Amino acid sequence: MAKILIIEDEDKIAEVVSDYLKNNGHEPFVESNGIRGQNTFLENKFDLIILDLMLPDISGECLCRFIRRRSRVPVMMLTAKADEASLLYGFRIGADDYLTKPFSPRELMVRIDALLRRSRAEPAMQLIDFDMGDLKLDSGKRKLIKRGVELHLTPIEFDILEKLISSPGRIFTREDIIQSVMGYDFKGIDRTVDSHIRNLRSKIEDCPKAPSYVLTQRGKGFYFNG
């Protein structure tokens, strides 16, 4: 069972999502505006947050940035903003997944299950203990340390980095990353991977625009320089 916060101002949508969550054994909490959602987030510990972007008081984007500064809890954006720019911006500010309205409740549950699996971090059968001096990754504890300081990655960012580190020098295409990391039939555009890579570089690289660890092979994909 997961404790899930729904921040959604459309009552019918909130009710449908809440009912599906209950029927799948989860505990939903519903708030209809951003301020109450923000306060409820601060007062409780949630396993996942479902966030509408067009709220009546503060924008979902502002709320997402607020949440991400304080927590690594998975955030799924559920919104009518279906254009590519909004989707890419959502990932850039810290969303873990993005589903547009109208949506299939069944697909929503599949995506929620995938996010929960990653965030609960069940160790893989073959754990990675990577130590490059400045950069250390412990996949069992799901920790990344750089020069003695723990870097706080979202679940997807950690999984992407772990995938790249598992085979240094090997080029992974966007499709490889989607299939391996997303863990389901991802219907988004492959440029969402670029957004996650950009966020990852901003956290682990000394100079994100001239990265040393996560590199791009133009026209092919990404690889870890280890």
Q: Say if residue 92's pLDDT is above 90.
A: no
**Residue type at position 90:** G
Report pLDDT for 9: 94
What per-residue confidence (pLDDT) applies to 172?
93
39 vs 70, more confident: 39
**Choice among 33-37, 80-84, 103-107, 176-180 with the minimum mean pLDDT:** 176-180
Q: Give the per-residue pLDDT at 125.
A: 41
- Crossing angle of helices 105-120/11-23, nearest 10°? 60
All structural domains of the chain, each given as residue ranges with its CATH number in brackets, are: 3-120 (3.40.50.2300), 129-224 (1.10.10.10)
Extended beta strands in the chain, E state: 3-7, 27-31, 48-51, 75-79, 97-100, 129-131, 135-138, 143-146, 149-151, 214-217, 221-224
The pLDDT of residue 186 is above 80: no
Least-confidence region, from 69-78, 175-184, 207-216? 175-184
Distance in angstroms (rounded) separating the CA atoms of residues 140 and 127: 6
Please give the pLDDT value at position 71. Answer: 87
Mean pLDDT, rounded, for 189-200: 81
> pLDDT, tens digit, for every residue of 22-44?
999 999 999 999 999 999 999 99
CB atoms closer than 10 angstroms to residue 199: 21
Beta strand pairing call for 221-224 and 214-217: antiparallel
* 35: region left, alpha or beta (phi > 0 left; psi from -120 to 50 alpha): alpha
Q: Identify any residues that bridge with 97 across adjacent strands, giving them in sequence order.
A: 76
**Which residues does 2 contact at the CB level (< 8 Å), separation at least 6?**
26, 27, 47, 48, 112, 116
State the average pLDDT for the chain: 87
**Residue 120 three-state SS:** helix
- Quote the pLDDT of residue 140: 79
Residue 88: predicted pLDDT: 81
Q: How far apart are CA 92 and CA 140, in angstroms?
A: 26
The answer to whether the peptide bond before residue 208 is cis (omega within 30 degrees of 0) is no
Amino acid present at 108 = L
Question: What DSSP character marks residue 181?
Answer: I
Encode pLDDT of 97-139 as tens digits.
Answer: 999 999 999 999 999 998 888 777 554 444 567 877 788 988 8
pLDDT per position as a tens digit, 130-167 = 877 788 988 878 889 999 899 988 888 888 999 999 89
The answer to pTM > 0.85 is no
Q: At what angle do helices 155-166 and 105-120 cross, to 10 degrees?
A: 60
Tell me the pLDDT tens digit for each residue of 3-22.
Answer: 999 999 999 999 999 999 99
